[in-house]
Amino acid sequence: MTEPLPLLPAQAEPPSGQVDLTLTQTEEQPRLRADAARNRTRLLEVAAELAAERGIGNVSMEAVATAAKVGKGTVFRRFGDRAGLMLALLDHHEQQLQAAFLMGPPPLGPDAPAAERLRAFGPAVLRHERAHRDLYVAAHADLARHYLSPANHLRLGHLALLLRQLKAPGDIELIAHTLLGYLSTLLADHLLTERGMSMERLEAGWYDLVERLGAAA
Amino acid sequence: MTEPLPLLPAQAEPPSGQVDLTLTQTEEQPRLRADAARNRTRLLEVAAELAAERGIGNVSMEAVATAAKVGKGTVFRRFGDRAGLMLALLDHHEQQLQAAFLMGPPPLGPDAPAAERLRAFGPAVLRHERAHRDLYVAAHADLARHYLSPANHLRLGHLALLLRQLKAPGDIELIAHTLLGYLSTLLADHLLTERGMSMERLEAGWYDLVERLGAAA
DNA sequence: CACTTAACCGGACTGCGGTCCAGTTCTGTT
DNA sequence: AACAGAACTGGACCGCAGTCCGGTTAAGTG
């Protein structure tokens, strides 16, 4: 909780081979050694596989290590901790979403007016998170890290950009956080599952929110 | 993750002696046996003590059990799991806050106009959570339960009430959730600590939010 | 191509959260 | 007061996250 944080080289997101991380700006990756890179991809593949067949909640770190024919220590060295592995797994999916709203077609992509992009952002995220619910929940088990994750940072920046283009009044950064909070996996899941709300209702709520918080004074 | 949930009598909030839980409506408490009630209070006392001296993060369930001269199983039977114990610990503090905005003096209490109460709610919660930061973070480690906790439910209901009194347009429940999300312990902590924002800025953000989301159409 | 060194590897080890169940203690009933 | 059964108790037990460190291997240097 307030530890000195031993070593943990802080290298949780080094890309490997075909994996392209240019989207989520990784502050700098120290370049993995060849064997280490190989192991990393194998670990991710195996983890995804196990998650698919028995549910991510029933995949222990040790199981991943064993299935990838690697020592447990290796897994932890690479990903730091369980949440780190989840985050890495998630990263792949996240990139699809990011591509959609950074370079995709309207109304999400850059060829639509800002107001429309902002509107479209909500449902896109809601649906995306719903599709990968388990993983998001598991990954954000450590909530503190969540706010620091590149993915979250990117979303935040995107929203702030759109809001600025719209000349939205007020504290843009805080408003962006508020909007993102509305899209939180756990909140959406709670409202849909526990409270029995419909996706349409959540989307309508988003449109309303965007209208009131994004409109120029 | 999708288990049948063995027993867990779902009795996590039975009051004991002087502890008054009428505020956070506890759906029904099966009345603890005399010895069990005694143990419960001792456990909470001991836990609070240990938390105070070595930080809540460094207090294991076993340590609490031992210090209270009780078996480990007893602790888990009483509180379900670690988060349950945290929640119970938190409950006491939470009641102070609840009393403040349910029955306290203006501008928080019922003798002030709704708009003022709504405005005052934000800073009150922000400051309260900041004061008990560690505990909130530990307790909400299990985020799914968080949305179901009586405390959260009460806050939500309170906000919804005020919004309704203000004749705020839109989907009241969703707006209440959005507002509450802005006050999330973890978000606030992130903004204050990591992003170096000032408390004043967060409060100003709240006032702005309330004005735009609470104003009648 | 030999050599140095930094990085990596694996698996034994620790501590904790959570479960289980045989034995004990309370509470309501007659 | 005696009894039956429900509720509680405690500690042995399990599996997993995360640490540690002696041995190994890859990447720069001449």
Residue A134 shares a structural domain with residue A208? yes
What distance in Å separates the CA atoms of residue A210 and residue B3, rounded to the nearest whole number? 38
B186 reaches A (C-beta below 8 A): yes
Domain, as residue range, for A74: 15-80
Of the residues A209, A210, A211, the best mutation for testing chain B's interface (the one with the most B CB atoms within 10 Å of its CB) is A209
Given CA atoms A133, A197, B183, B207 in this order, what sign does their dihedral have?
positive
Tens digits of residue pLDDT in A24-69:
444 456 677 778 888 899 999 999 999 999 999 999 999 999 999 9
Query: Which residues of chain B does A171 touch, with a Cβ-Cβ cutoff of 8 Å?
Result: 201, 204-205, 208
What distance in Å separates the CA atoms of residue A72 and residue B6, rounded to the nearest whole number? 31
- CB of A159 within 7 Å of some strand D atom: no
Query: Which residues of chain B does A148 touch, with a Cβ-Cβ cutoff of 8 Å?
Result: 190, 194
What CATH number is associated with residue A172?
1.10.357
What CATH number is associated with residue A70?
1.10.10.60
Residue A147 shares a structural domain with residue A101? yes
User: Cα torsion at A183, A186, A192, A194 (round to 10°)?
Assistant: -150
In a domain, A202, yes or no: yes
Residue A50 shares a structural domain with residue A106? no
- Looking at residue B15, its pLDDT comes to 34
* Cα angle for residues A50, A56, A62 (degrees, 5° grid): 65
In a domain, A52, yes or no: yes
* CB B107, CB B119: distance < 8 Å: yes
What CATH number is associated with residue B94?
1.10.357.10
Residue A93 has pLDDT above 60, yes or no: yes
Give the total number of structural domains in chain B.
Answer: 1
Q: What is the DSSP string of B123-136?
A: HHHHHHHHHTHHHH
In a domain, B203, yes or no: yes
In a domain, B2, yes or no: no
In a domain, B21, yes or no: no
Residue A72 shares a structural domain with residue A178? no
Minimal Cβ distance to A205: which of B55, B171, B204: B171
Residue A198 shares a structural domain with residue A110? yes
Residue type, A15: P
Average pLDDT, integer, range A210-217: 86
Taking chain B (217 residues) in runs of 10, the rounded mean pLDDT of each run is 32 35 46 80 92 91 91 91 91 90 92 94 94 86 81 92 94 96 92 94 96 84
Minimal Cβ distance to B181: which of A137, A187, A213: A187
Residue A114 shares a structural domain with residue A207? yes
Contacts of A143 (CB under 8 A, 6+ apart): B140, B141, B143, B186
Report the percent of chain A where pLDDT is more than 90.
Answer: 61
A186 reaches B (C-beta below 8 A): yes
Tens digits of residue pLDDT in A95-120:
899 999 999 999 999 999 999 999 99
Backbone angles phi, psi at A181, to 5 degrees: -60, -35
* Cα angle for residues B166, B172, B177 (degrees, 5° grid): 115
In a domain, B131, yes or no: yes
Which phi-psi region, left, alpha or beta, contains residue A55 (left: φ > 0; alpha: ψ -120 to 50)? left
- Looking at residue A29, its pLDDT comes to 61
Average pLDDT, integer, range A148-155: 88
In a domain, A1, yes or no: no
What distance in Å separates the CA atoms of residue A28 and residue A42, rounded to the nearest whole number? 22
Residue A100 shares a structural domain with residue A132? yes
Contacts of A168 (CB under 8 A, 6+ apart): A175, A213, A214, A215, A216
Q: Name the band, by pLDDT with cuts 50, 70 and 90, for residue A217.
A: low
- Looking at residue A199, its pLDDT comes to 96
Final residue of a domain: which of A80, A113, A129? A80
What distance in Å separates the CA atoms of residue B178 and residue B172, rounded to the nearest whole number? 10
CA distance B4 to chain A (A): 14
Residue A201 shares a structural domain with residue A109? yes
Residue A36 shares a structural domain with residue A137? no
Residue A144 shares a structural domain with residue A187? yes
Which nucleotides on strand D sit less than 7 A from a protein beta carbon? 7-13, 15-21, 25-27
Average pLDDT, integer, range A138-146: 79
Residue A74 shares a structural domain with residue A92? no
Final residue of a domain: which of A58, A80, A102? A80
Residue A143 shares a structural domain with residue A69? no
Final residue of a domain: which of A80, A97, A131? A80
CA distance A112 to chain B (A): 26
Query: In whole angstroms, what separates CA A69 from the centre of its chain?
Result: 28
Q: Name the band, by pLDDT with cuts 50, 70 and 90, for residue A22.
A: very low
* CB A191, CB A202: distance < 8 Å: yes
Query: Which residues of chain B does A201 touch, with a Cβ-Cβ cutoff of 8 Å?
Result: 171, 174
In a domain, B187, yes or no: yes
Query: Which residues of chain B does A134 touch, with a Cβ-Cβ cutoff of 8 Å?
Result: 1
